[in-house]
Amino acid sequence: MKRLATPPSLRRPELLDWAREITAFYSRPAEERQRQRAPFERYEPLFLGEDVYAALDAQFKSKCAYCESGLQMHESRIDPFRPILAAADPRTREESPDHYGWLAFEWRNLMYACNECVSAKRNLFPVDTPRALPMTAWRQTVASENALLIDPCRDDPARHLAFLPDGRLVGKTDKGAASIEVLNLNRPRLVETRRQWIFDLLSTVHQAIDPEAEPVTIGLIDELDNLRHSGAIRSALDAVAKETARRVGLKPIVGFRPSRDIPRLAGHHEVWDRVAYEYLSGADKTPISESLRSAVGEYYELRPRLDPSHVERVRIFNFKGIDTLELEFAHAQASDSNASGVMLLGENAAGKSTVLQALALALMDERLRKGSRVEGADFLPRQRESWEVLTDRPYVEVLLSSGDTRRIEIDSLGRIETYSDAVPSMVLAYGARRFFRSHERIHKNAVNRSLFDPFAKLEDPSPWLVEASQQHFNAVARAMREVLSLHEDDDIFRGPGGHVMVRAHGRVTPVERMSDGYRSLFAMAVDIMRRMVDAWGNLEYAQGIVLIDEIDVHLHPRWKIEVMSALRRAMPKVQFIVTAHDALCLRGMRDGEVHVLYRDQHDRIRPREDLPNIELLRSDQLLTSDFFGLASTARPQTDAALHRYAYLLGKPALDAGEQRERGALAAQLAGLPLGDTPVEQLVGEATQRYLNDRRRRGGAERAAMREDALEEIVALLSAGAAAGAHE
């Protein structure tokens, strides 16, 4: 398949700046690079614009490059064929953090893909030769490596893959077998879709060659390459057409072409129908030789035992204090390959923790539920007046991005019944009280216990981090750099005596000597990371769902602002569903990801509708918006004084008592800061000082005073702009 021209976004002059950064990154010592990520994430919005999506959509005819499923622009993903973070070989379990960051914005390395293929492929890229050296040009990289994945733009898939009549794929070559396993190309829903397309096209051709049937426009099937699952369709049509021509004594048909071959087969619809039936039932072994049924999977034990899907919707009925509640969670934006997040806000007793518990119960399998010591009776609805159990059964239904549904019901005896045969999700849950116990091992299945039991202890992950393999430690260190907002020259490393050390701000400090809030965040983040690493091997492509109640607990205001962004950067494919009370935590969320719960006039828990765009509001505006609903962020007494002062200033005539009151209020409010940022407050002070002095000076002095004040304000604004640029 010939590549289209490089889109304009990938020819921007700013690519030179990125090229210098990536070159500098790969010039650092290899050991240092292992604990850092190549610098490209902040460039993605700049270089992977809408024109790139449009070009990929045209390149791959609105289909997934790997499985040929149909794609809408909003549900597509850009997937680097050679992964740009921690490329791994599934046969050896070896991971190379160096590969292939320098190809992040190489047009020929970008594929148009569906969520399912991207989730399955992750960072897997097997080769049976040494990997190219960092910063090797694209052509030389391709020439020097023998990749074991089919490149849709360079390889002919028909050489490596064969389609069975039931929609399954088998590998003709090692590359075909590896591609099937790495991309999970025989997932049940995909196989069934292929089978249906094969059946439909065979039926369409049957109708086209039947003189008595309704006429079919040949053009609808003539451009086979534009159809979804065209590889499977072409394979079936070629096999059935070839056998039909043989049976009716026509010249052999090699490579079925509707415009050429449908007229030749006209009137032979009954033979076509019989051959198609034999093909679909597997009676005719001619199309797929038994020799093609290669024994795949010997080296590719890749399919995780866990579902990588994310939550798209939850419906809760009669669960504790919730009678009925439905929440639709935002999808990840088309331009963002990372997971969407969810934050639940609301006053105390608004149901935030209950929603997390409902999600956890529906997502956990029986093993995790037992480890969490969950008592189903705790979730039965009760009368408000008498605490008697109501007859309504609790019911929770969770829709996942894969299309699967998880559902649980709780009977009157508290028994939890599960209605789902889907693969269990990777789900971790943390309650508002997160106490980590050192020097004592806690059962691995008890990871989610703290969400249901406020006195449950979590296992301190620090010993694991000290003893982890170098590959796993490096994976955590790369992610913790994001969580702790470390600079380029800062580092996380293992020191002598079994200590994990953090080098930051020119000082080396053991983690256990850091502040309580710092250690609390570190412990929870590492606990999440070690479980993700154990399941997925790295954190850049780890997938799962993490539930955290009151994420703002113990955090300094600066960490509250950064915590969500930091966690999402550290584990970009993980869906975080959290609750919070502090507006500062909303800074890491996007429009549509925040839900506000409240109790209506009938004391029922409901979600607020038509919330404003969270990304456009300042922190003080967040507090007075529908997210928090405060009338003002000022102290009530100060707020009242301001309103009274404003009234007196606007009143045309004041009596003696009102004049004295206005003067007293002016003196009381004189020290009130003006502005939201330190620079704005300094400018406000300079302006106030000028106005005060102006009243005491004569006309001749006022012009000079005005110029001095302007120069002072300009200097303050310039200093603020310079500080912002530096940050």
467 and 435 assigned to the same domain: no
Residue in 320, 360, 325, 327 with CA at minimum distance from that of residue 343: 327
Where does residue 167 rank: exposed (0-12), middle (13-18), buried (19+ CB within 10 A)? Answer: buried
- CA pair distance 688, 667, nearest whole angstrom: 13
Residue 180 lies in a domain: no
User: How high is the pLDDT of residue 675?
Assistant: 53
Residue 178 lies in a domain: no
Helix (H, G, I), strand (E, B) or coil at 592: coil
14 and 91 assigned to the same domain: yes
266 and 326 assigned to the same domain: no
User: How high is the pLDDT of residue 583?
Assistant: 79
* Cβ–Cβ < 8 Å for 307, 423: yes
262 and 332 assigned to the same domain: no
User: How high is the pLDDT of residue 290?
Assistant: 39
Q: How many domains does the chain have?
A: 5
* Cβ–Cβ < 8 Å for 34, 97: yes
- CA pair distance 522, 528, nearest whole angstrom: 10
448 and 404 assigned to the same domain: yes
- CA pair distance 473, 181, nearest whole angstrom: 28
User: How high is the pLDDT of residue 295?
Assistant: 39
363 and 442 assigned to the same domain: yes
Residue 40 lies in a domain: yes
651 and 608 assigned to the same domain: no
User: How high is the pLDDT of residue 718?
Assistant: 66
- CATH number of the domain bearing residue 423: 3.40.50.300
Residue in 231, 236, 227 with CA at minimum distance from that of residue 276: 236
- Tens digits of per-residue pLDDT, 495-547? 887 788 888 877 888 877 776 667 777 888 888 999 998 888 888 888 999 99
- CA pair distance 110, 35, nearest whole angstrom: 26
Q: Of 489, 505, 540, which one is at a domain's C-terminal end?
A: 540
28 and 98 assigned to the same domain: yes
425 and 333 assigned to the same domain: yes
Residue 657 lies in a domain: yes
Both structure tokens of 614: 């969270």
Other CB atoms closer than 10 Å to residue 75's CB: what's the count? 14
Residue in 425, 464, 424 with CA at minimum distance from that of residue 442: 464
- CA pair distance 54, 594, nearest whole angstrom: 30
Both structure tokens of 539: 């954190």
| Residue owning tokens 């976004």 | 9
User: How high is the pLDDT of residue 64?
Assistant: 96
| Residue owning tokens 């390149």 | 59
Q: How many angstroms separate the Cα of 3 from the Cα of each of 6, 81, 110, 222, 363?
A: 8, 14, 11, 23, 42
427 and 568 assigned to the same domain: yes
DSSP sequence for 362-405: HHS-HHHHHHTT--GGGGS-B-TTT-PBPSSPPEEEEEETTS-E
* Cβ–Cβ < 8 Å for 129, 113: no
User: How high is the pLDDT of residue 281?
Assistant: 84
Other CB atoms closer than 10 Å to residue 592's CB: what's the count? 17
User: How high is the pLDDT of residue 286?
Assistant: 40
Residue 171 lies in a domain: no
Radius of gyration, alpha carbons of the chain: 32
536 and 547 assigned to the same domain: no
Both structure tokens of 495: 């020191």
- Tens digits of per-residue pLDDT, 351-407? 999 999 999 999 998 888 888 888 888 999 888 777 788 888 999 999 998 888 999
Does this model's pTM top 0.85? My answer is: no
Give 618-682 as a 3 state SS string.
CHHHHHHCCCCCCCCCCCHHHHHHHHHHHHHHHCCCCCHHHHHHHHHHHHHCCCCCCCCCHHHHH
Residues 6+ apart with CB under 8 A from 503: 490, 491, 492, 493
Strands 311-319 and 322-328: what pairing?
antiparallel
Q: Of 517, 540, 563, which one is at a domain's C-terminal end?
A: 540
Other CB atoms closer than 10 Å to residue 696's CB: what's the count? 7
Which residues are bridge partners to 78 per DSSP?
112
Residue 78 lies in a domain: yes
Both structure tokens of 696: 């005491």
Q: Which residue range is the domain that position 712 belongs to?
A: 636-724
Residue 161 lies in a domain: no
Residues 6+ apart with CB under 8 A from 620: 633, 676
Q: Of 269, 286, 303, which one is at a domain's C-terminal end?
A: 286
User: How high is the pLDDT of residue 124?
Assistant: 93
Residue in 404, 409, 395, 454 with CA at minimum distance from that of residue 429: 454
Residue 166 lies in a domain: no
Q: Where are the alpha helices (DSSP H) in 5-94?
A: 15-26, 30-33, 44-47, 50-59
* Cβ–Cβ < 8 Å for 483, 537: no
443 and 471 assigned to the same domain: no
Both structure tokens of 352: 């935030």
User: How high is the pLDDT of residue 566?
Assistant: 86
* Cβ–Cβ < 8 Å for 635, 618: no
* Cβ–Cβ < 8 Å for 345, 429: no
- CA pair distance 265, 74, nearest whole angstrom: 41
Other CB atoms closer than 10 Å to residue 684's CB: what's the count? 16
User: How high is the pLDDT of residue 324?
Assistant: 94
Low-confidence ranges of the chain (pLDDT < 70): 216-222, 283-305, 332-337, 421-423, 437-445, 515-517, 618-643, 645-647, 649-650, 669-707, 709-710, 712-714, 716-727
